[in-house]
């Protein structure tokens, strides 16, 4: 018999926050709204699909969180260095082991597209109007 510890509610929230950060902060820098909408339809980084092997154990949650954080850090830093490609691929393979679909390699994030100047449905607003 094997005993597994379930992930905490905070870990599950952290995973969702990291995925939201990728969709609202990183994707709008590199992709158009139409492309991001297609990513949602393709269930990129969705944890609640039928084919996901992520079961919500403590160990799995830690692996997913650390992989997402590492990928975010590598994307947001100078990704022109090929030194980080192996680390990127390793963390990508961890996500793939849980069938979390993230079909991007480092080349997708090497060239910074200036989509920040346009308004994106997915980007967080710069300020909020209080009524």
Tell me the pLDDT tens digit for each residue of 4-36: 677 788 988 999 999 999 999 999 888 889 999
Quick check: is 3 in a domain? no
Quick check: is 63 in a domain? yes
The residue segments making up the domain with residue 64 are 9-109
pTM of the model: 0.82
What is residue 6's three-state secondary structure?
strand
Residue 87 has pLDDT above 80, yes or no: yes
Quick check: is 54 in a domain? yes
Quick check: is 117 in a domain? no
pLDDT, residue 112, reads: 66
How many Cβ atoms are within 10 Å of 106's Cβ, its own excluded? 19
Quick check: is 41 in a domain? yes
Burial class (CB in 10 A: 0-12, 13-18, 19+), 13: exposed
Cα dihedral 114, 118, 124, 130, rounded to 10, equals: 150
Number of domains making up the chain: 1
DSSP secondary structure of 27-87: HHHHS-HHHHHHHHHTTTT-SSSTT-----BHHHHHHHHHHHHHHHHHHHS-TT-GGGHHH
Quick check: is 2 in a domain? no
pLDDT, residue 59, reads: 86
Q: pLDDT tens digits, residue range 22-77?
A: 999 999 888 889 999 999 999 899 877 555 566 678 888 899 999 999 999 999 88
Quick check: is 93 in a domain? yes
């Amino acid at each position: 018999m094997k005993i597994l510890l379930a992930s905490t509610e905070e870990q599950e929230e952290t995973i969702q926050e990291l995925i939201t950060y990728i969709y609202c902060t990183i994707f709008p820098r590199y992709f158009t709204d139409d492309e991001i909408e297609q990513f949602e339809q393709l269930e990129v980084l969705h944890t609640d699909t039928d084919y996901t092997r992520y079961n919500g154990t403590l160990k799995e949650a830690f692996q997913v969180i650390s992989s997402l954080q590492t990928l975010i850090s590598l994307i947001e830093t100078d990704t022109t260095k090929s030194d980080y490609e192996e680390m990127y691929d390793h963390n990508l393979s961890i996500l793939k082991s849980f069938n979390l679909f993230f079909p991007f390699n480092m080349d997708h994030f090497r060239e910074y597209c200036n989509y920040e100047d346009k308004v994106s449905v997915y980007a967080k607003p710069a300020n909020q109007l209080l009524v």
